[in-house]
Amino acid sequence: DTEVTQTPKHLVMGMTNKKSLKCEQHMGHRAMYWYKQKAKKPPELMFVYSYEKLSINESVPSRFSPECPNSSLLNLHLHALQPEDSALYLCASSRSGDRVPETQYFGPGTRLLVL
Amino acid sequence: AQSVTQLDSHVSVSEGTPVLLRCNYSSSYSPSLFWYVQHPNKGLQLLLKYTSAATLVKGINGFEAEFKKSETSFHLTKPSAHMSDAAEYFCVVSFSSIYNQGGKLIFGQGTELSVKP
C-alpha cells in the first residue's frame, strides 16, 4: 500500500479563520513533507519532518504551523492566511528522509481558497 | 548547482502515436532522477525512477526513460499515447550529499501533455 491520505479535499477560509490540514500514511515511513503548489507550477517544499522532528523549514511564514504528532500523522495549522496563500497543499512521505535520495509518495492534496 | 530543465512546456500528440517528453538535468553529484505525473486536481504519482542501476528504466502505464550521462538527459517516452495520458508531467532530480539534508527534490517546470482523439 503506497497511499497517503489528506483531509479535507477542499477548504475555504476567511483571513481571520484558523483551520488545519491533515495528512496520514501507514507505510511505516519516517519522513513526511508539506508542499505548496500554485496553478501550472511545480510543487514548492515548505516543511520536512524526519523521525517526527522538524528538519527543514523553507522560510515559510509563521501563519503556517506544522505539527507531527506521531510517525503516521502530519498536520498543517493555518491562521490569518492571505488570499495569495490559496493553492493546492500536498503532503508526501518517504522511508526515512536521510540524505540518500528516496522516492516520495504524494497524497491527493487539499485545495485551499482564502477569501 | 543542481537543476532540471524540461524542454517543452506543452506537447500535443494524437492518440496511438509516440510520446516524447524531454528533460535535461545538471548535478554536481550522482543524481537520482524521477518522473511524476499529475492529473488535473490530483496529487503526484510516481511513473518511474533512476537510481544508478540500469540506464533504461521501465515505469507504469507503458512509460520508460533512458538515463544518458553524456547528454545529461532523462527523456520520457511511450510508444503509443492513450487519452488517459493527458496530464502534467514533472521531471525531478535528487542527490545524495551533505548539502541535501532530507533528500530534497528539485522539480522541473512541468510539461503538459495533450492527447487528441
Question: Residues B11-66: pLDDT tens digits?
Answer: 999 999 999 999 999 987 778 899 999 998 889 999 999 987 788 999 999 999 99
Q: A72 CB contacts (<8 Å, ≥6 apart)?
A: A24, A25, A26
Q: Mind telling me how many Å the CA of A53 is from chain B's nearest CA?
A: 12
pLDDT band at A97 (very low <50, low <70, confident <90, very high): low
Q: Does B74 touch chain A (CB under 8 A)?
A: no
Q: Which of A75-79, B1-5, B39-43, B99-103 has the lowest mean pLDDT?
A: B99-103
By three-state DSSP, how is residue A40 classified?
Answer: coil
Decide if A40 touches B, using CB distance below 8 A.
yes
Count residue pairs from A and B with Cβ separation < 8 A: 67
pLDDT of residue B51: 82
Between these two residues, A60 and B30, which has the higher pLDDT value?
Answer: A60
Which chain B residues contact residue A99 at CB under 8 A? 96-98, 100-103
pLDDT at B101 over 70: no
CA-to-CA separations, B59 to A53, A82, B26, B37, B113, in angstroms, rounded: 33, 40, 23, 11, 17
Query: How far apart (Å, rounded) are the C-alpha atoms in residues A105 and A100?
Result: 16
* Dihedral, CA of residue A64, residue A68, residue A72 and residue A73, to nearest 10: -40
pLDDT at A99 over 80: no
State the pLDDT at residue B104.
Answer: 82
CA proximity to B31, closest of B46, B52, B45: B52
Could you give the CA distance from residue B54 to residue B47 in angstroms, rounded to a whole number?
Answer: 16
User: How far apart are alpha carbons A4 and A110 in whole angstroms?
Assistant: 12
CA-nearest residue to B31 within chain A is A101
> How does residue B100 score in pLDDT terms, banded at 50, 70 and 90?
low
- Determine, for residues A103 and B109 on separate chains, whether the beta-carbon distance falls below 8 Å: no
Residue A84 grid coordinates = 495569495
Burial class (CB within 10 angstroms; exposed 0-12, middle 13-18, buried 19+) of B77:
middle
pLDDT of residue B97: 63
CA–CA dist B96, B62 (Å, integer): 29
Calculate what percentage of chain B has a pLDDT beyond 70: 93
Mean pLDDT for A58-68 is 95
Question: So what's the pLDDT on residue A112?
Answer: 97
User: Given CB atoms, is A42 within the 8 Å cutoff of chain B?
Assistant: yes
Query: What confidence score (pLDDT) does residue B112 get?
Result: 97
Picking from A47, A56, A102, the residue whose alpha carbon sits closest to that of residue A75 is A47
Q: Do A111 and B41 touch (CB under 8 A)?
A: yes
Using a CB–CB cutoff of 8 Å, tell me whether B94 touches chain A. Answer: yes
Chain A: give the shortest CA distance to residue B43, in Å. Answer: 4
Closest CA relative to residue A107, chosen from B42, B100, B112: B42
The confidence score (pLDDT) of residue A90 equals 97
The pLDDT score that the predictor gives to residue B89 is 98
DSSP secondary structure string, B6-53? ES-SEEEEETTS-EEE-EEEE-SS-EEEEEEEE-TT--EEEEEEESSS
Q: Is B49 on the interface with A (CB under 8 A)?
A: yes
pLDDT score recorded for residue A37: 97
> What pLDDT is attached to residue A2?
65
How far apart, in whole angstroms, are the C-alpha atoms of residue A20 and residue B11? 37
Task: Give residue-wise pLDDT tens across range A1-22.
Answer: 569 999 999 999 998 889 999 9
Interior angle at CA B116, CA A106 and CA B92, nearest 5:
30
Q: How confident is the model at residue A68 (pLDDT cuts 50, 70, 90)?
A: very high
For B80, which DSSP code? S
pLDDT computed for residue A21 by the predictor = 98
